[in-house]
Chain A
Amino acid sequence: MLRFILRRALLAIPSLFGLLVLTFFLIRVVPADPAAALAGENATPAQVAEIRRQYGLDRPLHEQFVVYLGQVARFEFGESAYSRRPVALDIKQRLPATLELTVSALLLATLLGIPLGTIAAVYHNRWPDTLLRVLSVAGVAIAAFWFAIELQLLFAMDLGWFPLRGRMSSGLAAPPAVTGFLLLDSLIAGRLDAFRDALHHLVLPAVTLSLGGIATIARFTRAGVLETLQKDFVLYERAQGFPSRALIWRFVLKNSVVAAITQIGLLFGALIAGAVVVETIFDWPGIGFYTVQAILTADYKVMLAVTLLIGVIYAAVNILVDLVHGLIDPRLREQL
């Protein structure tokens, strides 16, 4: 198993290196004059020249790339033009908010998606299946930003059931930060009022973000369960008179979730990207909101750091998915 983990981790190195090359090109090569971009619109030619020298932009590309690698390795992303603070510090403070949101959305998507997909497969080609098929295609077709706004319109503005934006009511003191996850921190501090408030704020953003995930997980679970249902062992158990319900929820499902787990892993990456939109609409103080602010203020350093961060999370999740596969199905370990 250890060898499998090592080999899988080694395979991630080329794609991470590729990511570094890509971001380097984005920052240094694509803009006509990166120094001018860094200096801002109102800079004089002398200031631009100074920045070019200061950032080593007058040196050959391969030398710049080596310097760039060193900076990334030391987490030196410079200071954000938007918040006037080190980018690494900003990210450290904002990452828990994004993770809290995405993990909740993923949990919701899994808890709803797997049972829905299973039900659809059991009622194959009957109305629950058709309904789910249409719903799951619809779930992927909805623009998340629009759905979020409609949810706000209905549940926050009209009905007033949920708060409109933010992570916590402004009148409430936040619990002392231990993990950065508000739900966990408020429980650690024993503050049930804060826990309830944070959960209340989490509902609409998490539901918006989980929508596409529910659809995807349900589809892959359905396909997996359908395939397993055709296996001989199911026929055998059925012939033995094994109760159908227990058979499906205990044995068939366990044999069918491999593809769905891959999707859960891939979804995590997609959800982090989706958080960009959802956080913007709900003023959620996470990485996504930060990214959009950075884009609108042309804050290159932040953009670079965030793109790298998301790429690394993507790669890490992919490794994790393969490891889980290896645990579920030992045959896959041999293939690598």
Chain B
Amino acid sequence: MLVLRKFAKDRPAVFGLAVVLAVVFVAVFASQLAPYPGDVSASHLLRRLKPPSWAHPFGTDNLGRDIFSRVVLGTRGALTIAVMVVGTSMLIGVPLGLIGGYYQGWGSEAIMRITDMFLAVPQLILALALAQLMTPSLESAMLALTLTYWPFFTRIVYAETRRLKASLFVDALQCIGASSPRILFLHILPNCISPIIVRATIGMGFTILVAAVLGFLGMGATPPDPDWGLAISESRQYLPDAWWFSTFPGLAIFLTVLGFNLLGDGLRDIVDPRLRRSR
């Protein structure tokens, strides 16, 4: 309860939570909320590149499609990518971090060296390199992003496990003969859940951003997907006349990522007592 009250006082974090909930709502009910749900693939050349109006609040694009509908429908894709990438990275990274931190020996050493190897290359470059090795599609983009994001979870869980391993309750568990998997998954894992959640929240925003870059560079979503990054890339030929074409999808990316980042920041302040002191 104390935690909830503390969170409620943190206005930017509450704003972030509201944005995230709104984005999730829009994603779930996208086909109901979009005024022209058929505009995913349909084209209406007669009304191409129309500025914002009552009928088309965000204007229309080069194929006469309603940009508002496409931004709304794009929410689903962006969130799906983020959930899939962060979820899979967690499934890979967390167990590796637990094992690497708890056991000693060449196996753990190998896990951590491989993790460091992945962390030594800038994520965007690695994702680009991976994405171009496969044929451009949403699936390859997701795979590339997952392969570059799991080491972050391994690093965090590793550090937490190392710390917890030295604590008294783990000693006690070992003394009463609890098995290692039991200690790891039932006792150590719950204790490092908060940094994992913080990392996952920030990772959601980050993934949406990098996925948009991949889409923009033509290495992610393919036409006619209502992808935000792809839309901005398509809009470049029609500037400066069709300013609305690039502006609104970009605002959608910005607001979504902002929501996740503010929420993640607020959660971190609650979770990490070291930072709480300095605030």
Interface residue A40 (Cβ < 8 Å from any Cβ of B): no
| A311 partner residues in chain B, CB cutoff 8 A | 120-121
Among B126, B131, B205, B212, chain A packs the most CB atoms within 10 A around the CB of B126
> Interface majority SS on A: helix, strand, loop or mixed?
helix
Q: Is the CB of A141 within 8 A of B254?
A: yes
Interface residue B236 (Cβ < 8 Å from any Cβ of A): yes
Chain A's interface size range is 35 or more
Q: Is the CB of B258 within 8 A of A307?
A: no
Interface residue B166 (Cβ < 8 Å from any Cβ of A): no
Among B120, B212, B249, chain A packs the most CB atoms within 10 A around the CB of B120
Against B, the Cβ 8 Å flags (1 = close, 0 = not) of A22-39 are 100010001100000000
| A223 partner residues in chain B, CB cutoff 8 A | 275, 278
| B239 partner residues in chain A, CB cutoff 8 A | 149, 152-153, 157
Given known A150-B246, A295-B217, contact A18–B116 (CB-CB < 8 A):
yes
| A178 partner residues in chain B, CB cutoff 8 A | none
Interface residue A146 (Cβ < 8 Å from any Cβ of B): yes
Given known A149-B246, A276-B128, A303-B132, contact A141–B258 (CB-CB < 8 A):
yes
Interface residues of A in 109-155 (CB under 8 A from B): 125, 130, 133-134, 137-138, 140-147, 149-150, 152-153
| Nearest CB on B from A226, distance (A) | 5
Neighbour of A149 across the interface among B218, B232, B254, CB < 8 A: B232
| A307 partner residues in chain B, CB cutoff 8 A | 121, 125-126, 129
Interface residue A19 (Cβ < 8 Å from any Cβ of B): yes
Against A, the Cβ 8 Å flags (1 = close, 0 = not) of B38-77 are 0000000000000000000000000000000000000000
Q: In the bound complex, how far is the Cα of B279 from the Cα of A62, in angstroms?
A: 53
Neighbour of B217 across the interface among A140, A153, A292, CB < 8 A: A292
| Nearest CB on A from B71, distance (A) | 13
Q: In the bound complex, how far is the Cα of B114 from the Cα of A21, in angstroms?
A: 10
Q: In the bound complex, how far is the Cα of B13 from the Cα of A134, in angstroms?
A: 10
Given known A26-B130, A149-B246, A276-B128, contact A143–B229 (CB-CB < 8 A):
yes
Neighbour of A146 across the interface among B118, B125, B246, B275, CB < 8 A: B246
Q: Is the CB of A153 within 8 A of B253?
A: no
Q: In the bound complex, how far is the Cα of B205 from the Cα of A300, in angstroms?
A: 30
Q: Is the CB of A298 within 8 A of B253?
A: no
Q: In the bound complex, how far is the Cα of B61 from the Cα of A312, in angstroms?
A: 43
Against A, the Cβ 8 Å flags (1 = close, 0 = not) of B254-268 are 100110011001000
Against A, the Cβ 8 Å flags (1 = close, 0 = not) of B97-127 are 0000000000000000110111011111110
Interface residue A291 (Cβ < 8 Å from any Cβ of B): yes
Given known A157-B239, A157-B240, contact A133–B217 (CB-CB < 8 A):
no
Q: Is the CB of A150 within 8 A of B132?
A: no
Q: Is the CB of A158 within 8 A of B240?
A: yes
| B129 partner residues in chain A, CB cutoff 8 A | 26, 303, 307
Given known A153-B240, A158-B240, contact A142–B120 (CB-CB < 8 A):
no
Interface residues of B in 178-227 (CB under 8 A from A): 205, 209, 212-213, 216-219
Interface residue B133 (Cβ < 8 Å from any Cβ of A): yes
Q: Is the CB of B243 within 8 A of A153?
A: yes
| Nearest CB on A from B155, distance (A) | 14
| Nearest CB on A from B95, distance (A) | 21
Interface residue A171 (Cβ < 8 Å from any Cβ of B): no
Neighbour of B121 across the interface among A22, A30, A142, A145, CB < 8 A: A22
In the complex, besides A146-B253, A292-B217, 11 extra interface pairs with C-beta distance below 8 angstroms are A18-B120, A138-B254, A138-B258, A143-B209, A143-B229, A143-B250, A149-B239, A150-B247, A276-B128, A295-B132, A314-B120
Q: Pull 12 A–B residue pairs with CB atoms less than 8 Å apart, ordered by A.
A: A141-B205, A141-B209, A143-B254, A145-B232, A146-B253, A147-B250, A149-B239, A157-B240, A276-B124, A277-B216, A292-B217, A314-B120
Binding site for A on B (CB under 8 A): 12, 113-114, 116-118, 120-126, 128-133, 205, 209, 212-213, 216-219, 229, 232, 235-236, 239-240, 243, 246-247, 249-250, 253-254, 257-258, 261-262, 265, 275, 278-279
Binding site for B on A (CB under 8 A): 14-16, 18-19, 21-22, 26, 30-31, 125, 130, 133-134, 137-138, 140-147, 149-150, 152-153, 157-158, 223, 226-227, 230, 269-270, 272-274, 276-277, 280, 291-292, 295-296, 298, 303, 306-307, 310-311, 314-315
